[in-house]
Chain A
Amino acid sequence: MKSWGPPLLLLILAVVLYFALPFNLAFLTRILIMVVLVLSLDLVLGYAGIATLGQAALYGAGAYAAGLFAIHVWADPVAGLFVGAGAGAMLAFVSGLVLMRTQGLTLIMLSIAVASICLEIANKARDVTGGADGLRGIRMEPVLGLFAFDFIGKTGFWYALAVVAVVFVVLALLSRAPLGLSLRGIHESPERMAAIGVSVYWRRITAYTIGGGIAGIAGALSAQITQLVSLESFSFTLSAEALIMLILGGTGRLYGAVLGTLIFMFVHHWAAANDPFNWLFVIGALVLAVVFFLPKGVISAPPAITRLLKGGRHAGS
C-alpha cells in the first residue's frame, strides 16, 4: 500500500463513530456491510469496467448460503464467511461465463435478469429459504469462539469492521498486482490488452468471480449479524443503491467506495428520519450535485478544490 495514512484515518473514524453513536451500532454495522458490497462492485466496475446492476444476486447468494450453513451445518461465523464467499463466487463464475461475453446495455440487462431469477428461485423454494417471510432461525456461535454476538451489536460492529479491513487490504494489494493492473488496462482498452497477450474474457470472469466472492462475504456478514435473510437481498434496489454509492464516492479507487457508502448511508439515514416521505428527493439532489460538480466522485474533491483555489482550470498552464 502506498500510504498507511488514509486507511488509518478511516479506522480511527470507525472507532470515533462507535463511541459517538453507541445507540446506532446496528446502523453503523449496516454501513460496514454495505462498504464490503460496494468494494466488490468497485473491483468489478471501477477496475475491470464491467457494467453490472446485478451485484445483489451475488450478495443474496452469499447471504442465503451462509444462513443455511449456519442453520443446518455449522454456526461458526468465519466458516460461514467462507461459505458465503464461495456461493457468491460460484454464482458469479457460472453466470459470468455468459455475462462476460456481452458488454454495455446487454450486460446490464442480463445482470439484472440473473438477480431476478435468483430472487424468484428464493421466493419459490419456500421450504428451504422461507420464501417471502425470509430465512429465520440463524443463531451464530461466538466469533473465533471468544466473542458472542450481543443484543446491542458491539460484537457485530467489530466483527464487520475487521472483515472490512481485511477485504480492503486484499483489494488494495490485488489492485497493484499484475491481475489488478491488467484489469485497469482492460477497462481502458480491451483490444490492446488482448494484443499484449491477455485473455480479456477470462480475466473479466476472474474479476467478476472475485467480486462475487466479496459480495458473498457482505451477504454472509448481513445474514450472521442480523440473523435474517430476506428476499430483499436479491433486490434491484440493493444493486442500484450500491452503484449510486460507488458513483458518489468515485470509481476505481477503493477509498471512493468507502466514502460514497458513508455519505449515502448517513444522508439516507438523516433524510429519512427528518422526512419519511420525501427523503428520496434529498438523495436525488445529492447524486445530481456530485455528478454535476464532481463527475469523478467525492474522492476527487480535494484536487478539484486545490485547482479552484489556484485559479481555476488554467492554473496548471
Chain B
Amino acid sequence: MTDGLTLTNVTSGYGPTHVLDRVNLNLRPGERLAVIGRNGAGKTTLLATIMGLAKLHEGTVTLNGAPIHGLSPHKRSSLGLGLVPQTRDIFKSLTVEENLLSAKRGSATLDEAYALFPRLKERRKNGGGQLSGGEQQMLAIARTLMTEPDVILLDEPLEGLAPVICEQLMQVFEDLCNDGRRSVVLVEQHATAALKFADRAVLMANGAIVHEGPATELLARPDLLNRHIGVALSA
C-alpha cells in the first residue's frame, strides 16, 4: 500500500474539456509540496481534481492506497482532504464564528482556530462579507482546518494580499506542518515564498508537470524556473 496521496496518469478538466494531461504525482504524509506555474497551467484544476470538483477523464487518484476518484467531494473531505479555494468562498450571510462552526468536525474547536488567527477572534461576530481580503483568507484557511484535514490543498492563498499578511500566513503554514502530521500542497504564483516553504516542487505548464525536484534545487537554480515555465524568482 502506498501512503499519502497519489495521482496516476490523470487526465481531467471541466465537462468535455481536458485541462490536465497524464499527470503523475505523489505526496507523502507530512510532505510540503509547492506547485508553481503561470496562469492557465492547470494548477487549480490539479487541486480540483484531487478534491473531486473537476471531471476525471482518465487515471486514478488514491489516498493511502485506496482509490478515491469515484467519491464525491464531501466523502473525500471526510477522508482527510481539505481545500482552501482561490476564491475563498466565505459565506457572507454567516458571521466569522458561524462560518467556522458550519465546517466543524470531530474534536476541532473554535479556540484552536482563534489561537492560529487571533484576528478572527476579534472579528468573530462580524459577517463574512465585512472582512478584508486578508481576514477572508484567514477565515477560509481556519474553516478548512475545522474539518481536521490530513492533506491541506492551498490554492494561491497569498493572491492579492499585503506583504505583511503574506508573511503571517506563511508562518501559519509553517506552524501547521511542524508536527509532521499534515501534508500541504501549496499552489502559488509567488514562487520564492512557495519554494522556501516546500520540501519539493513541481512546475506545471499546459496541464502537464514539466519538472519535479527538491525545492532547494529550484531556489538555487532559478534558471530552471525560467527555462521550464518562463518565470523568474522575485526577492
Contact = CB atoms under 8 A, between A and B. Distances in A.
A295 B99 CA distance: 25
Contacts of A185: 91, 94, 99, 102
A261 interface: no
Interface stretch (A17-25, A57-65, A162-170, A189-197): A189-197
Interface of B: 51, 53, 72-75, 77-78, 82-83, 85, 89, 91-94, 98-99, 101-105, 143-144, 146-147
A184 B94 contact: yes
Contacts of A196: 77, 82, 102-103, 143-144, 146-147
Interface in A157-176: 176
B73 A195 contact: yes
16 contacts: A176-B98, A181-B94, A184-B98, A184-B102, A185-B94, A188-B91, A189-B89, A195-B51, A195-B53, A195-B73, A195-B85, A196-B143, A196-B147, A197-B77, A198-B102, A199-B75
B181 to A, nearest CB: 18
- Of the listed residues B77, B102, B105, the one surrounded by the most CB atoms of chain A closer than 10 A to its CB is B102
A184 B93 contact: yes
A152 to B, nearest CB: 43
A181 B102 contact: yes
Contacts of A188: 91-93
Nearest to A177: B101
A45 B133 CA distance: 30
Contacts of A200: 74
B89 A192 contact: yes
A195 B94 contact: no
A157 to B, nearest CB: 35
Contact of B102 (A178, A195, A199, A252): A178
A182 interface: yes
Nearest to B143: A196
- Of the listed residues B53, B98, B103, B143, the one surrounded by the most CB atoms of chain A closer than 10 A to its CB is B103
A256 to B, nearest CB: 13
Contacts of B104: 178
Contacts of A195: 51, 53, 73-74, 77, 83, 85
Contact of A182 (B72, B73, B82, B102): B102
A229 B104 CA distance: 44
Contacts of A252: 93
Contacts of B102: 178, 181-182, 184-185, 193, 196, 198
Contacts of A181: 94, 98, 101-102
The 6 closest A-B pairs by CB, nearest first: A197-B77, A181-B102, A192-B89, A196-B103, A194-B73, A185-B102
Given A181-B98, A181-B102, A194-B72, A189 B51 contact: no
B198 to A, nearest CB: 23
B74 A198 contact: yes
B78 A197 contact: yes
A194 B77 CA distance: 8
Given A196-B82, A196-B102, A197-B78, 16 more contacts: A178-B102, A181-B101, A181-B102, A185-B94, A187-B93, A188-B93, A191-B73, A192-B85, A194-B72, A194-B73, A195-B74, A195-B85, A196-B146, A197-B77, A198-B74, A200-B74
Contacts of A192: 85, 89, 91
Contacts of B73: 191, 194-195
A101 B99 CA distance: 25
Given A178-B101, A191-B53, A197 B74 contact: yes
